[in-house]
Amino acid sequence: MTFLKNISADRQTDKELVTAFKESGDINHLSILYQRYMDLVFGVCLKYFKDAERSKDAVMDIFEELNRKLKQHEVDHFKGWLHVLARNYCLMQLRSPKNMKTTEFNADFMQSGEATHLTNEVLEKEKTFKHLAQCLELLPEDQKQSIHLFFVQKKCYNEIVEITGYEWNKVRSYIQNGKRNLKICLDGKQS
């Protein structure tokens, strides 16, 4: 993707080339300027489209859009402005109706008024929760209370110390031992 190159124009700043283009309308000034940042524009397009061929086409389309828009806008920092222009172009292309994916509506996926059947996974979770509640009841009172405050009520160790009056190290120990005992119970072993 190369345009005509003017060696003397290569030494001009972006701002000078923008001004020259706006004053003369000569597309050669714009092509020299655009060539400096063509890789940047291609990279932006590739990021959004994830397709090299589509990105190459977009680079050419963005040049055409640049030719129209640069005449209408006051641009102080061409590189940043071009980046935004390229990004917006890509986003608009991705949002266009031809890129929207539609799916046919299937009424079978809607919840009906009839009772729905519970899956095996839901039943298994319910069984595990019941077993967990039974195991929790088997714990010594200090472990049960500490586990409940920590996991159910989301209290920190310091808050548990204030509520129960237990020492901080004891709270930590009760929670660790309670977790271990619950695991043993849930695995079906005797505690």
Is residue 92 domain-shared with residue 25, that is, in the same domain? yes
Is residue 93 domain-shared with residue 125, that is, in the same domain? no
pLDDT of residue 101: 63
Domain tally, the chain: 2
Give mean pLDDT, residues 6-25.
81
If you search the block for the tokens 């061409």, which residue do you land on?
78
Q: What is the pTM of this model?
A: 0.48
**CATH code of 16's domain:** 1.10.1740.10
pLDDT of residue 135: 87
pLDDT of residue 155: 87
138-158 confidence digits (pLDDT tens): 889 999 899 888 888 888 889
Is residue 67 domain-shared with residue 150, that is, in the same domain? no
Q: Which of 64, 104, 80 is nearest to 14 (CA)?
A: 80
Residue 8 has pLDDT above 90, yes or no: no
